[in-house]
C-alpha cells in the first residue's frame, strides 16, 4: 500500500487537489483493484465539510476526528491504517491531515511504528504565502521540507512577479521536490498527475527501511 500525506495550511486547496488526484489514480487502475484508493480524513469536527464532500463524490473514506494525527491521535492513525489495509487492500492510501498538522511528523510516525515510507504532497497558498510565512515560519518549514511534491496553488490570485518569488522561496525548503504552480480549481491533465504520482513514488523509496 502506497501512502501519501497531503499537507497544507487551512484553505490552501488540499481537498480540491485530493479529489482530482484520487480520480486520476482510480482511472489509472482500470479495474485492477476493487478499491484502488482509500482516503483517510483527519478533521477536528465530526461534521467536517471535507469528509462530507468526499463521501458525496463516492470515494472510500475513513475518518479520525479525535485530534491531530501528527500528535494526539498518532496511535489511532496507526490502528486505522492497519484496519484500512486489512479491510480494503488498496493500492493507494491518501491521508489528508488537518490544516495545522506537520506532514513530516506524520511521515516519521509511519516509519517508526508501521515500518512504511510515505511521501508528502504539500500545498503552498500563493495568495497567503507571505502572511503565513511571516506569522509561522517553523510551521511552513514543517509543511515543505520533506515534501516530494510541492504544488503552489491559487496562481490566479497573484501576479507573475509575486508567483516567481513564492515559487523560489517554497523551493528553497526542499530543492529536490517537484514544484508545480497550479490553480487547483482548473482540472489538470493526466500527464500532470502522472508526473506527480511518479515523483511521490520516488519519494517513498528515499531512505526506505
Task: Tell me which H or E stretch contains 64.
Answer: strand 60-64
Q: Name the maximum alpha-carbon separation found in the chain.
A: 49
What is residue 67's predicted lDDT score, i.e. its pLDDT? 53
What is the per-residue pLDDT across 67-79, written as a single tens digit (0 to 9) for each? 555 554 567 788 8
What is the per-residue pLDDT across 171-189, written as a single tens digit (0 to 9) for each? 999 999 999 999 999 999 9
Q: How remote is the C-alpha of 121 from its chain's centroid? A: 4
Q: Identify the band that residue 47 occupies on the pLDDT scale cut at 50, 70 and 90.
A: very low
pLDDT higher than 80, residue 43? no
Q: How many CB atoms lie within 10 A of CB 155?
A: 21
pLDDT above 70: percentage of residues in the chain = 86
Lowest mean pLDDT: which of 91-95, 110-114, 118-122, 178-182?
A: 110-114
pLDDT higher than 80, residue 48? no
* Structural contact between residues 65 and 46, judged by C-beta atoms closer than 8 angstroms: yes
Domains of the chain (ranges plus CATH)? 2-198 (3.40.50.300)
pLDDT above 90: percentage of residues in the chain = 61
Amino acid at each position: 500500500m502506497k501512502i501519501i500525506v497531503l499537507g497544507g495550511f487551512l484553505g490552501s486547496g488540499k481537498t480540491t487537489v485530493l479529489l482530482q488526484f484520487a480520480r486520476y489514480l482510480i482511472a489509472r487502475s482500470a479495474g485492477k483493484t476493487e478499491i484502488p484508493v482509500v482516503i483517510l480524513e483527519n478533521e477536528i469536527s465530526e461534521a467536517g465539510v471535507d469528509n462530507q464532500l468526499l463521501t458525496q463524490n463516492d470515494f472510500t473514506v475513513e475518518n479520525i476526528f479525535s485530534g491531530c494525527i501528527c500528535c494526539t491521535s498518532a496511535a489511532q492513525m496507526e490502528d486505522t491504517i492497519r484496519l484500512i489495509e486489512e479491510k480494503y487492500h488498496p493500492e493507494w492510501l491518501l491521508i489528508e491531515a488537518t490544516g495545522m498538522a506537520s506532514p513530516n511528523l506524520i511521515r516519521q510516525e509511519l516509519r517508526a511504528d508501521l515500518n512504511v515510507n510515505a511521501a508528502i504532497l504539500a500545498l503552498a497558498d500563493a495568495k497567503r504565502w507571505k502572511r503565513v510565512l511571516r506569522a509561522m515560519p517553523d510551521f511552513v518549514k514543517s509543511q515543505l521540507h520533506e515534501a516530494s511534491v510541492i504544488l503552489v496553488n491559487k496562481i490566479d490570485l497573484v501576479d507573475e512577479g509575486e508567483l516567481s518569488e513564492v515559487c523560489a522561496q517554497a523551493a528553497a525548503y526542499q530543492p529536490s521536490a517537484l514544484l508545480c504552480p497550479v490553480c487547483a480549481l482548473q482540472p489538470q491533465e493526466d500527464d500532470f498527475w502522472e508526473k506527480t504520482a511518479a515523483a511521490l513514488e520516488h519519494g517513498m523509496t528515499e531512505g526506505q527501511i
